[in-house]
Chains A and B, each alone.
Chain A
Amino acid sequence: MEAVRTDFTGYEGQYVAIDARTGRIVLANEDLLALLEEVKGHDHVSVRGRVPYADEPLYHFGLG
């Protein structure tokens, strides 16, 4: 398989919803709860999270 790329440019500071089939951002909003309302009825779309600004620290997950 090939990893799915997404161009997050221009969406900094916003929560984004991505089409799972293409990797393309289809919805964005600075308010997560508003975005969750917007994605209702959009099949094949998932909410990824907030796109950081370039000067924000990068967080890495993992509890291990």
Chain B
Amino acid sequence: MADTPPLPWLYPYREDAQSLRLGQPVYRPFVYVSLAYGDQSVWNLDGLIDTGADAVLASSLLAVPLGIDLDDNEGEQDHGVGGRVLTARYKTVGLHLHPSDSSQGTYIEWEAQVGFVESWHSDGLVLLGSVGFLDEFTVTASRFAQAVAVEDRDAFDERFGTVLSA
């Protein structure tokens, strides 16, 4: 693996082929991820950061090249996504985050349960939600700056102090 530059990593917002708003293109916070399981991996996937998502979700098609038997899963859960109810079958896999030039040789890796979903309407995408991504990094998104910054997960507490519930 190449030398990994220190965080924060900055990513420009990117146009989404899936969406228009009032006839105008929609820009979204995409980052670059790979999935790994055993000695198999799927590289070069766009990951959409979604603070409204509970988990990391991906197409069940991606389980094929990873060699994952989804019948041997760690749990199933129904999720509402895009107005539909989809069943995710969870399996712990390795995830890699790549920098904004999508360099394959540079990444930060961690493990998380990924929910693999049948009939995912955008099969190449990985949806990066709270458990499995937003608990690994501090993410700052700005539509004004048209960019998203990914930092160490402790960066939030260092910037704002530890927030305790009332």
Contacts and interface: CB of A to CB of B under 8 A. Distances in A.
A21 B99 CA distance: 11
B145 interface: yes
Contact of A40 (B43, B51, B123): B43
Interface in A10-33: 11, 15-18, 20-21, 23, 32-33
Nearest to A4: B14
A6 B17 contact: yes
B53 A64 contact: yes
A48 B30 CA distance: 9
B5 interface: no
A50 to B, nearest CB: 6
Contacts of A21: 101-102
A43 B122 contact: no
Contact of B17 (A32, A49, A60): A49
Interface of A: 1-6, 8, 11, 15-18, 20-21, 23, 32-33, 35-36, 39-40, 42-52, 58-64
